[in-house]
Structure 1
Amino acid sequence: MDAFYSTSSSSSGPYGATAYGGSGWGYDSLKNFRQITPAVQTHLKLVYLTLCVALASSAVGAYLHVVWNIGGMLTTLGCVGSIAWLFSVPVYEERKRYGLLMAAALLEGASVGPLIKLAVEFDPSILVTAFVGTAIAFACFSCAAVVAKRREYLYLGGLLSSGLSILLWLQFAASIFGHSTSSFMFEVYFGLLIFLGYMVYDTQEIIERAHHGDMDYIKHALTLFTDFVAVLVRILVIMLKNASDKSEDKKRKKRS
Structure 2
Amino acid sequence: MLLRLALSTARPSGLLLGKSSQAFLKSKPSLNIVRNYARHPVRNTRNPVAVEQPRAPTLKEKLMAPPSANAYSMGKGAVAGAAVVGLGALCYYGVGMGKHTSIADNAIMWPQYVKERIQSSYAFFGGSCILTAASAAAVFRSPRLLSLASRGGLLWTFASLALVVGSGALTRSMQYEPGLGPKHLAWALHCAILGGVIAPLCFLGGPIMTRAALYTGGIVGGLSTIAACAPNDKFLYMGGPLAIGLGVVFASSLASMWLPPTTVIGAGLASMSLYGGLVLFSGFLLYDTQRLVRKAEVYPQYAVAPFDPINASMSIYMDVLNIFIRIATILGGNRRK
* Category of TM-score, reference length = shorter chain: 0.7 to 0.9
1:208 is matched with: 294
Q: State whether residues 124 and 313 of structure 2, in contact with CA within 8 Å, keep that contact through their aligned partners in structure 1.
A: yes
Aligned: 1:171 with 2:230: no
- Structure 1 counterpart of 2:169, which letter? A
Structure 1 residue ranges without an equivalent (≥5): 1-16, 246-256
Distance 1:51 1:109 in 2: 14
Aligned: 1:100 with 2:192: no
Aligned: 1:229 with 2:321: yes
Distance 2:237 2:215 in 1: 26
* Secondary structure in structure 2 of the residue aligned to 1:140: helix
* Secondary structure in structure 2 of the residue aligned to 1:34: helix
Q: Deviations over 1:6-39 (max 9, x none)?
A: xxxxxxxxxxx9983259x9xxx96872364432
1:58 is matched with: 132
TM-score by length of 2: 0.59
Q: State whether residues 76 and 107 of structure 1, in contact with CA within 8 Å, keep that contact through their aligned partners in structure 2.
A: no
- Structure 1 counterpart of 2:267, which letter? T
Q: State whether residues 94 and 226 of structure 2, in contact with CA within 8 Å, keep that contact through their aligned partners in structure 1.
A: no
Distance 2:110 2:94 in 1: 16
The alpha-carbon distance between structure 1 residues 151 and 75, as it changes in their structure 2 partners (threshold 3 A), is: same
Distance 1:158 1:37 in 2: 31
1:118-157 alignment, distance < 5 Å? 118-120=203-205, 124-157=206-239
Q: State whether residues 132 and 195 of structure 2, in contact with CA within 8 Å, keep that contact through their aligned partners in structure 1.
A: yes
Distance 2:122 2:178 in 1: 20
- Structure ID, larger Rg: 2
Q: Could you say which structure has the greater relative contact order, defined with CA pairs below 8 angstroms and 6 or more residues apart?
A: 2
1:1-256 alignment, distance < 5 Å? 20-21=96-97, 33-34=107-108, 36-69=110-143, 70=145, 72=149, 73=156, 77-92=162-177, 95-115=181-201, 117-120=202-205, 124-179=206-261, 180-213=266-299, 215-245=307-337
- Structure 2 counterpart of 1:44, which letter? I
Distance 2:204 2:170 in 1: 32
- Structure 2 counterpart of 1:227, which letter? D
Q: Deviations over 1:119-161 (max 9, x none)?
A: 12xxx21110100111121122112212322111112222211
More helix by share: 1
Q: Deviations over 1:102-135 (max 9, x none)?
A: 11111101110011x2112xxx211101001111
**Identity across matched positions, percent:** 20
The structural deviation recorded for 1:221 is: 1.4
Q: Deviations over 1:204-256 (max 9, x none)?
A: 011111222172100011111111110000000000001111xxxxxxxxxxx
Q: State whether residues 59 and 109 of structure 1, in contact with CA within 8 Å, keep that contact through their aligned partners in structure 2.
A: yes
